[in-house]
A and B are shown apart, each in its own frame.
Chain A
Amino acid sequence: DIQMTQSPSSLSASVGDRVTITCRASQRISSYLNWYQQKPGKAPKLLIYAASSLQSGVPSRFSGSGSGADFTLTISSLQPEDFATYYCQQSYSTPFTFGPGTKVDIK
């Protein structure tokens, strides 16, 4: 099975900050990497798919990059509604494993 790791596990940031979250796969997964946002008590929301493609309706301040085993989610200017937990997920092969999550909270 492919294991996913994320760093950091949590971070504190201010509105307007540039935020970067990294995700690493235990083997190369090409660009089969997705990012989700989850707010407390809510369903996850797909933000980025295929490592760098922005899901329809997602603000352009979110971007993804990377290929192979190392990936990055960047929020260019953090907004109040962006405080949430972010998960990466590999879709290269089953089981479709998620990373442990990165919680972004208010500094």
Chain B
Amino acid sequence: QVQLVESGGGVVQPGRSLRLSCAASGFTFSSYAMHWVRQAPGKGLEWVAVISYDGSNKYYADSVKGRFTISRDNSKNTLYLQMNSLSAEDTAVFSCARDPAYDASGRMDVWGKGTTVTVSS
């Protein structure tokens, strides 16, 4: 079945880096744009970034621009989020989500369960 499984979360000190992964299965990963979305504890959903099917187009939320990098490896059916210069405000559950279009349509029709990132000293 169609599935997205995130990994790589954990506890990290402020200023440090972390890389998240999202393993896709059950569909042709290379045909879909992919998103990262986060949710801080007790808060709403915040869109983070999107990458087109081939990695040629990437867009970011202002809150992460210049610090986070979205990428993908279609040979491994895996999406990544490299997060640098982390701060407490980045503490959240990070989820990957599939976009039903090659380029970003903006809607997200399949979601992973998320991985928790806690930034704390």
Contacts and interface: CB of A to CB of B under 8 A. Distances in A.
Contacts of A50: 107
Interface string B37-66: 100000011110010000000011110000
Interface stretch (A15-23, A40-48, A59-67, A72-80): A40-48
Interface residues of B, number: 23
A43 B95 contact: yes
Given A43-B114, A94-B50, A96-B50, A34 B44 contact: no
B85 to A, nearest CB: 19
**Interface size class for chain A?**
20 to 34
A45 B109 CA distance: 7
A35 B23 CA distance: 25
B76 to A, nearest CB: 22
28 contacts: A34-B106, A34-B107, A34-B108, A36-B45, A36-B108, A43-B95, A43-B112, A44-B37, A44-B45, A44-B97, A44-B108, A46-B109, A49-B107, A49-B109, A50-B107, A91-B107, A94-B50, A94-B60, A95-B60, A95-B61, A95-B62, A96-B47, A96-B106, A98-B44, A98-B45, A98-B46, A100-B44, A101-B45
Contact of A90 (B44, B62, B95, B106): B106
Interface of B: 35, 37, 44-47, 50, 59-62, 95, 97, 104-109, 111-114
Interface of A: 1, 32, 34, 36, 38, 42-46, 49-50, 55, 87, 89-92, 94-101
